[in-house]
Structure 1
Amino acid sequence: MKIEFGCPFCDIAQQRDPDAREVYRDENFVAFFPTEPAVLGHTLIIPRSHVDTVWNLDESTAERLGIATVRLSRAVRDATMAPGLNVIQSNGEVATQTVMHLHVHLVPRWPNDPLGRIWPKETDYSERQKDVAWEEVRDNVIRVLGKLNP
């Protein structure tokens, strides 16, 4: 298991943070409340082994993380009775990742909660800009994966 010295989430994974409010632990993941939750019930899921971003996550761990995310999101919903939930996973500082250890946010949502909107109501991209972005992503998907559909 890879551990990064000085990583606060590795400290939690190794049970070296006595203040961590854990809600779940197994051989692969730990789930806990962040120290500054966006709303009550906000829960983070981390791999116990250090990995910094989704780009460095192996597919086997990603599959298990997906299953843990679904199961824990149900538990958070049932505990908080929230009518909505955001599942957020950010990569890199520009995307607001502040701890460079991969983590998934489960954020219960209520009408008019303090988090507010996370998406703009609208954008003003031209159809040409959208087409160019679509073509670049599609072509790169084909280059990397070999095809669009399995």
Structure 2
Amino acid sequence: MAETLPSPAPESAVVLVDAHVFALVPTHHYAGIKGNCLVVPRSHYENVLDIPDDLGSAFFRATRRLAHAMQSAFGCEGISTRQHNGPAGNQDVWHFHLHVFPRYANDGLYGGQKVAYTIAERMELAASLRDALR
């Protein structure tokens, strides 16, 4: 029997939930590029070295769904993903997660400043992505 999962609440930064992963709008964005998300496993794995092989399809499926939703909601021209492992790999959160970014020509993502979202911005972006995922 398939697990019944709750839909993310409208006042939530969570945009997608499935049996193995969830995605949310994080507390910050980079270089003014808004609408980025994190795809996170529902179980704890420190980094990519710990992720079981069978979770790969759940991450790919969520990332692809987010990419389509970002294009629909934000009209972005492309998508980038990013993931860090270990201190030398710039990992600073010790729970595996995959960044998914909407991209625009010459947007300056790499090297851009990290800026906090307001709560209202974060909720509005999450609502736009949830609508695009329906």
Give the TM-score taking structure 1 as reference length.
Answer: 0.60
Provide the residue aligned with 1:23 in structure 2: 15
Answer 1 or 2: which has greater strand percent.
2
SS at match of 1:44: strand
Provide the residue aligned with 1:63 in structure 2: 57
The match for 1:100 among 94, 115, 121 is 94
Q: Deviations over 1:23-67 (max 9, x none)?
A: 111221110111111220111100010101111111111222112
Provide the residue aligned with 1:81 in structure 2: 75
Provide the residue aligned with 1:144 in structure 2: none
Once the 2 structures are TM-superposed, how far is the Cα of residue 116 of structure 1 from its aligned partner? 4.2
Provide the residue aligned with 1:121 in structure 2: none
For these two proteins, the number of residue pairs brought into alignment is 100
Once the 2 structures are TM-superposed, how far is the Cα of residue 91 of structure 1 from its aligned partner? 1.1
Answer 1 or 2: which has greater helix percent.
1
The 4+ residue runs of structure 1 with deviation greater than 2 A are: 111-114
1:79–1:55 CA distance, 2 compared to 1 (3 A): same
- 1:1-150 matches, within 5 Å, as 21-38=13-30, 39-116=33-110
SS at match of 2:28: coil
SS at match of 2:92: coil
Once the 2 structures are TM-superposed, how far is the Cα of residue 117 of structure 1 from its aligned partner? 6.5
Q: Which runs of 5+ in 1 are unaligned?
A: 1-18, 119-150
Residues 20, 33 of structure 1: 8 Å contact kept:
no
Give the aligned CA root-mean-square deviation in angstroms. 2.0
Tell me the amino acid that sits aligned with residue 23 of structure 2: A
Which of structures 1 and 2 has the larger relative contact order (alpha carbons within 8 angstroms, sep 6+)?
2
